[in-house]
A and B are shown apart, each in its own frame.
Chain A
Amino acid sequence: MHAHSFSPESAGIRRLFVLGLAAVTTVAGTWEMHRLLSARGTTVPEGVLLALFVLCFGWIALSFWTAVAGFLQLAVSKRLPGLRWPTAEEAAKRLASRTSVVMPVHNEDPASVFANVQATYESVAATGQLDAFDFYILSDSTRPEAWIAEELAWADLCRRVGGQGRIFYRRRTDNTGKKAGNLQDFCERWGRHYDFTIVLDADSLMDGRTLVTMARLMELNPRAGILQAPPLNVGRSTLFARLQQFAGRVYGPVVAAGAAAWQLGESNYWGHNAIIRTEAFIQHCGLPVLPGQQPFGGHILSHDFVEAALMRRAGYTVWLVTELGGSFEQPPPSLLDYAQRDRRWCQGNLQHLSLVAAGGLHPISRGHFLMGVMSYAASPLWLLFLTSGLVAGLWDGWLSFSNPHLLEDLPPEAMHFDAKGSMRLFAVSMGMLFAPKIFGLLLGLASAKDSALMGGRVRLVLSVLLESVLATLMAPVMMLFQSHFVFGTLLGYKVSWSSQQRDDADLPWSEAARRHAVHTAVGVGLAAVAWFLSPGLLLWLSPVVAGLLLSIPLSVFTSRASLGLWLERRGLLVIPEESEPPKVLERSQEVAGEFAMEPVADAVDHVISDAKAHALHLALLESQPSPAAVPMALASARRKLLGDTAEPLSAPEKTAVLLDAHTLTEARERRLTIAVS
């Protein structure tokens, strides 16, 4: 099978516009940088600096021209060519297809997960098309307490909405392949029941109308393999999260529309809030295991990009449909949680480097792999760029010091650094970096409704300024975090797989100090070196130095919900989804508040002592395949549980007991008997 294009005829000109202009801009920028650096000839550190500049500037140029394309696309408000949209008559018909909505979960807070499922379910029901959908909670939870809490939450949800037989719950006993394996297990067991599968994340929330439209688009476009609905960050209160939500709402659409405008049917899949053609996915997207050792070999960690590439290789298109709306997720609540998520994603994206040259892939799919790599590699490149700039300055100083007559031989124009030229290049770079923000702001200001919902035009401008300042200060911290992850991954850093922190909990100062001590020290060192070389250089580096020096208070204060809410009350960083929340979002928050669950403190104890948990768990256990062999943990657990002395069970022992109906029944009978006598 070989890749071939299904994208519309305008794909070529669109790609030439973005990629061609990005290339021309990179060449022009590099030329100018070379001119500035080579005034006194080019030293080795300056050569390295130039090479790093090409990569960093090229990345910025591509983002800039993508944002330009997005801005134009949104300004003309025309639908992208390629996908056939339903007519009014078609949109009113009943769906002829069957769609599963799957939500893989892993040790999450069940209250918010099931509140989102309920809100989505009710929203689909409100469209009158519920018969075309089934819902699955695919649990990979390893914590026994999370497992039991999920079962209870599932049963409660089914009772509330009458969802037995339409909302299903399955827990895997082994987590092979992690999220991709979880989805594969679903496909291999129930996938053939459905034409399409909508994949959600544990914090995903989708409007029923969006789900119906996605299914309808898949019906009307039989060569479409995946449709990605870009999710909007909503629902958090911390300052950090509200910065993410604001940026995602104001600038995100520009970037997404830009990417969609030139990638068209060769777009990417982000792993959730997307619909996939189930049969094509089963036949063509079974993930391979890569040869060699980690970080590049072994199981594929970031499955979504690879699945999109495989789907495209099989001749199906992948679309980023920015017009859909009604697709939400939650941002991480703090800078450290954001970094923790990045740590997981980093290794997965770097692993894609080994797939760039793989046979049969579409060139744009290769581009997605490279862009994914660059989204993390850009940080160490920037760090190396800054370091090599300092080294080049030190080198220059050393040469002048060690050979005072060296400067005498140089022409007079080489004696003066072209400050104007450097300022011009710096301004162009900054302009390109901030362009998506400016485009987003312009589009926001142009829409009276949007700007009113974001606190009014003045507050919208102030919000953009505030977001820009804080994002600039946090960028150097993320640069160091991501550089650490990249170097660590390449040097064999272990990436653990843990669920995200999804609560708005304040970050303690001690934790922030522990995590950011190195960043602060790097800031001090950078400031000292820059001052030693030239006080002017320190001024140039001041945003980076300030961000690093302030990393501890920045991390603490941005993690605070009180600050986020204080700004919201003043109309700052407000998004329309806060001023005028969509029904599905309101409903989700309402359900989470109304049906808050009691936490399960001890899973085994709860199942033994609570009649409801016991009866439900045993009933669900019947649908779960029995373990091939009785684990050793069960024997020791039985000794502890049924013996005369009460001993606490370890997590593996709890899991073993929870998988054994006989032991649970025996333990419950024993407990009741003791209680009575």
Chain B
Amino acid sequence: MDSVTTPNTCPSVTTTEWVRPETCVALDAFFQGFGFEAAEDLAALAAWALEGVTASNVKPQAAVALARARVETWLTRELDMDVVGEGRLLTRGRAAFVLCDGARFGATVFTRDAVPHELSRALSAAVPVPTPAQVATAMPEQQLVLWPLGERLRRWLRAGQPDMSVSR
């Protein structure tokens, strides 16, 4: 489908009329994940994500990938996270952003360089740490001889099954 001739029905990206509607929808969905709901915020964020993109037929996946990259860069700057695996920064950073209700500051938190100090502090404090690092250890199963006298007799007679707790 030719994106130039496609009528634009995107509700939010009014400034990027040349973008495919499904791309707008995908970008809106992505930023709604951060708690943004206002149309003007979503439009500004879509514009921010596609800043510098000149191709008019940018696909939804590519647009979302760009948005992810931008947000990850922003999160890297804002959060001091020790171990960050593939996608973890975005997942945990987004959770922190939503938990401290970062969307209430509007789209400018992403689009401008200066982040409000209050948000910066709240964001760091809100990064979910469900559990600390593990120190793996085994809890050995204890053995109980339920009837020691009977067990001695059994051994002496060499008969029957051991009368003791069994291994897990």
Residues of A within 8 A of B (CB): 134, 136, 155, 158-159, 162, 164-165, 168-170, 184, 187-193, 282-291, 310, 354-355, 357-360, 611-612, 614-616, 618-620, 622-623, 668-669, 672-673, 676-677
Inside 8 A of A291's CB, which chain B residues have their CB? 146, 161-166
How far is B163's CA from A357's CA once the two chains are assembled, in angstroms?
A: 11
Closest chain A CB from B40 CB (angstroms): 15
**In the bound complex, do residue B128 and residue A287 qualify as a contact, i.e. CB atoms below 8 Å apart?**
no
B29 on the interface (CB 8 Å rule)?
yes
How far is B125's CA from A612's CA once the two chains are assembled, in angstroms?
A: 16
B114 on the interface (CB 8 Å rule)?
no
Inside 8 A of B132's CB, which chain A residues have their CB? 134, 165, 168, 190, 193
Inside 8 A of A310's CB, which chain B residues have their CB? 142
Interface of A is mostly: helix
4 cross-chain pairs, A with B, having the tightest CB-CB distances, nearest first? A288-B165, A619-B95, A672-B29, A359-B148
Inside 8 A of A170's CB, which chain B residues have their CB? 130-131
Contacting A at CB under 8 A, from B137-157, are 137-149, 151
Q: A164 touches which one: B125, B134, B140 (CB < 8 A)?
A: B125
Q: A286 touches which one: B26, B88, B141 (CB < 8 A)?
A: B141
Inside 8 A of A192's CB, which chain B residues have their CB? 135, 137
How far is B91's CA from A448's CA once the two chains are assembled, in angstroms?
A: 60
How far is B132's CA from A672's CA once the two chains are assembled, in angstroms?
A: 34
Inside 8 A of A134's CB, which chain B residues have their CB? 132
Known pairs A164-B126, A283-B140, A612-B35 / 13 extra A-B pairs, C-beta < 8 Å: A158-B128, A164-B125, A188-B139, A193-B132, A285-B139, A286-B139, A286-B142, A288-B144, A358-B144, A614-B33, A615-B95, A623-B131, A673-B29
**In the bound complex, do residue B131 and residue A358 qualify as a contact, i.e. CB atoms below 8 Å apart?**
no
How far is B141's CA from A385's CA once the two chains are assembled, in angstroms?
A: 41
Please tell me the size bucket of the interface on B. Answer: 35 or more
**In the bound complex, do residue A618 and residue B142 qualify as a contact, i.e. CB atoms below 8 Å apart?**
no
**In the bound complex, do residue B137 and residue A676 qualify as a contact, i.e. CB atoms below 8 Å apart?**
no
Inside 8 A of B29's CB, which chain A residues have their CB? 668-669, 672-673, 676
**In the bound complex, do residue B165 and residue A290 qualify as a contact, i.e. CB atoms below 8 Å apart?**
yes
B117 on the interface (CB 8 Å rule)?
no
How far is B162's CA from A402's CA once the two chains are assembled, in angstroms?
A: 54
Q: A190 touches which one: B34, B98, B134, B151 (CB < 8 A)?
A: B134
**In the bound complex, do residue A357 and residue B146 qualify as a contact, i.e. CB atoms below 8 Å apart?**
yes
Contacting A at CB under 8 A, from B59-110, are 88, 91-92, 94-95, 97-100
Known: A190-B134, A673-B29. A286 touches B140 (CB 8 A): yes
**In the bound complex, do residue A611 and residue B33 qualify as a contact, i.e. CB atoms below 8 Å apart?**
yes
How far is B130's CA from A136's CA once the two chains are assembled, in angstroms?
A: 9
Inside 8 A of B140's CB, which chain A residues have their CB? 283, 286
Which residue of B has the minimal Cβ distance to A154? B130
Inside 8 A of A612's CB, which chain B residues have their CB? 35, 98-99
**In the bound complex, do residue A187 and residue B99 qualify as a contact, i.e. CB atoms below 8 Å apart?**
no
How far is B128's CA from A158's CA once the two chains are assembled, in angstroms?
A: 9
Inside 8 A of B129's CB, which chain A residues have their CB? 164-165, 168
Q: B135 touches which one: A158, A193, A619 (CB < 8 A)?
A: A193
Q: A669 touches which one: B26, B138, B168 (CB < 8 A)?
A: B26
Known: A286-B139, A286-B140, A668-B29. A620 touches B128 (CB 8 A): yes
Known: A159-B99, A192-B137, A282-B137. A672 touches B91 (CB 8 A): no
Closest chain B CB from A659 CB (angstroms): 15
B116 on the interface (CB 8 Å rule)?
no
Inside 8 A of A355's CB, which chain B residues have their CB? 144, 146
Which residue of B has the minimal Cβ distance to A284? B142
Q: A354 touches which one: B94, B130, B146 (CB < 8 A)?
A: B146
**What are 12 of the A-B contact pairs (CB < 8 Å)?**
A134-B132, A190-B132, A286-B139, A357-B149, A358-B144, A358-B147, A360-B144, A611-B98, A615-B94, A618-B94, A673-B22, A676-B25
Inside 8 A of B141's CB, which chain A residues have their CB? 286-289
Known: A187-B137, A192-B135, A291-B164. A159 touches B143 (CB 8 A): no
Closest chain A CB from B134 CB (angstroms): 5
Inside 8 A of B131's CB, which chain A residues have their CB? 136, 168-170, 189-190, 623
**In the bound complex, do residue A188 and residue B165 qualify as a contact, i.e. CB atoms below 8 Å apart?**
no
B159 on the interface (CB 8 Å rule)?
no
**In the bound complex, do residue A676 and residue B11 qualify as a contact, i.e. CB atoms below 8 Å apart?**
yes
B136 on the interface (CB 8 Å rule)?
yes
B32 on the interface (CB 8 Å rule)?
yes
Inside 8 A of A164's CB, which chain B residues have their CB? 125-129
**In the bound complex, do residue B146 and residue A358 qualify as a contact, i.e. CB atoms below 8 Å apart?**
yes
Closest chain B CB from A341 CB (angstroms): 27
Inside 8 A of A284's CB, which chain B residues have their CB? 142
**In the bound complex, do residue A618 and residue B91 qualify as a contact, i.e. CB atoms below 8 Å apart?**
yes
Inside 8 A of A618's CB, which chain B residues have their CB? 91, 94-95
Which residue of B has the minimal Cβ distance to A314? B142
How far is B97's CA from A282's CA once the two chains are assembled, in angstroms?
A: 38
Which residue of B has the minimal Cβ distance to A187? B139
**In the bound complex, do residue A290 and residue B135 qualify as a contact, i.e. CB atoms below 8 Å apart?**
no
How far is B141's CA from A310's CA once the two chains are assembled, in angstroms?
A: 11
Inside 8 A of B168's CB, which chain A residues have their CB? 289
Which residue of B has the minimal Cβ distance to A307? B142
Which residue of B has the minimal Cβ distance to A156? B99
**In the bound complex, do residue A159 and residue B126 qualify as a contact, i.e. CB atoms below 8 Å apart?**
yes
How far is B137's CA from A192's CA once the two chains are assembled, in angstroms?
A: 8
**In the bound complex, do residue B139 and residue A359 qualify as a contact, i.e. CB atoms below 8 Å apart?**
no
Inside 8 A of A283's CB, which chain B residues have their CB? 140
Which residue of A162, A285, A355, A669 has the most chain B CB atoms within 10 A of its CB atom? A669
Closest chain B CB from A313 CB (angstroms): 8
Which residue of B has the minimal Cβ distance to A619? B95
**In the bound complex, do residue B138 and residue A188 qualify as a contact, i.e. CB atoms below 8 Å apart?**
yes
